[in-house]
Amino acid sequence: MPSTETVFERTGENTMIVNMGPQHPSTHGVLRVVCELEGETIVNCKCVIGYLHTGMEKEAEYQQYNKCVVMTDRMDYLNANGNNLAHALAVEKLLGCEIPKRGQYLRVILAELSRLASHLVWLATHGLDLGAMTPYFYLMQQREYILDLFEMFSGVRMMPSWIVPGGLRGDMPDGFEARLRGFLDAFLPELDLVENMLVSNPIWKERTVDVGALTAAQALNLGASGPIARASGVNFDLRKSNPYSSYEDFDFAVPTGSHGDVYDRFLVRNAEMRESVKIIKQAIDGLPSGPWRTTDRKIVPPPREELDSSMESLIHHFKLFTEGFHPPVGEAYAAVEGSKGELGFYIVSDGSNRPYRWHERPSSLLNLKCLEVMAKGRLIADVVAIIGSIDIVLGEIDR
Binding residues for another protein (CB under 8 A): 1-2, 49-50, 53, 55, 57-59, 61-62, 93-94, 96, 217, 220-225, 234, 236, 241-242, 329-333, 335, 342, 344, 346, 348, 350-351, 356-357, 359, 361, 365-366, 368-369, 373, 398-399
Q: How far is the CB of 366 from another protein (least distance, A)?
A: 5
Q: In what order do the strands lie in the sheet with 355-361?
A: 330-337, 342-349, 355-361
Q: How far is the CB of 35 from another protein (least distance, A)?
A: 18
Cβ closer to another protein: 116 or 234?
234
Cβ closer to another protein: 212 or 301?
212
Cβ closer to another protein: 243 or 291?
243
Taking the C-alpha atoms of residue 65 and residue 165, their distance in angstroms, rounded to an integer, is 8
Cβ closer to another protein: 298 or 369?
369
Phi and psi at residue 345, to the nearest 5°: -125, 135
Cβ closer to another protein: 10 or 58?
58
DSSP secondary structure string for all residues of 262-319 = HHHHHHHHHHHHHHHHHHHHHHHHT---S-SS---TTTSPPPHHHHTT-HHHHHHHHH
Taking the C-alpha atoms of residue 228 and residue 256, their distance in angstroms, rounded to an integer, is 9
| 122, 265 Cβ separation under 8 angstroms | no
Q: How far is the CB of 340 from another protein (least distance, A)?
A: 14
Produce one character per residue of 196-226: b if its CB has 16 or more CB atoms within 10 Å, e if not: eebeeeeebeebbeebbbbebebbeebbbbb
CA dihedral 166, 330, 364, 46 (to 10 degrees): 160
Nearest to 13 by CA among 48, 49, 51, 43: 43
Inter-axis angle of helices 101-129 and 380-390, to 10 degrees? 170
Q: How far is the CB of 62 from another protein (least distance, A)?
A: 5
Cβ closer to another protein: 185 or 331?
331
Q: How far is the CB of 56 from another protein (least distance, A)?
A: 11
Q: How far is the CB of 87 from another protein (least distance, A)?
A: 15
Cβ closer to another protein: 243 or 302?
243
Taking the C-alpha atoms of residue 247 and residue 252, their distance in angstroms, rounded to an integer, is 9
Taking the C-alpha atoms of residue 72 and residue 396, their distance in angstroms, rounded to an integer, is 9
Q: How far is the CB of 22 from another protein (least distance, A)?
A: 13
What residues contact residue 107 under an 8 Å CB cut-off, 6+ apart?
A: 81, 85, 88, 99, 163, 168, 245
Q: How far is the CB of 107 from another protein (least distance, A)?
A: 19
Taking the C-alpha atoms of residue 334 and residue 198, their distance in angstroms, rounded to an integer, is 37
Q: How far is the CB of 344 from another protein (least distance, A)?
A: 7
Cβ closer to another protein: 129 or 398?
398
Cβ closer to another protein: 181 or 359?
359
Distances (CA, A) of 203 to 25, 135, 200, 372: 21, 14, 9, 25
